Structure 1
């Protein structure tokens, strides 16, 4: 399997954590931030500058549809993550879900996205 030399990244979330992720991805030569998404226009513009000024979106579904990134990094409260995972199950890499959300994830097409559920005591 040929692996890309540079992974494209779309980030959802422009708060403190989103800005840290944006800057970290920008500084790593293995990644190219192609899109960033947030509701607040001022915070979105500030985070985009840290990410290298990628395309800006306010709708995560539109961002994923248009950019088709290798990595979907969502820096959001846990309560929003299941909704974001449902947008495209290929981008499922989160671990801070509730038990209810984990049960809902089981309904996603696991074979298509290679999804696995692991449970551990905190």
Structure 2
């Protein structure tokens, strides 16, 4: 915990340095929310098919969701989202002739209802 889930358009597979993105998120993003680097877990999902707006066939997207346990200030959550967006912008570039949208949602998970098992 925190969980970072990244969904990205299939066309971005060659232009998105996912390992560098995750490494930097794990190093930099903990600070705004007072978390540890070891706590961050990131997973990626390639979007094979998607539709945006009305006939927007020239658009590729990266959707990033960062789920953290509740109890942070709104300012800390906002800072986290901004930090992750900046990192993503450094590690993904658009495909020539196509538009790129990168979106980040930082959200809290209710601490009382979160459970985990570690071995």
Structure with higher RCO (Cα < 8 A, 6+ apart):
2
- Pick the structure with more strand per residue: 2
TM-score, structure 2 length as denominator?
Answer: 0.28
- Pick the structure with more helix per residue: 1
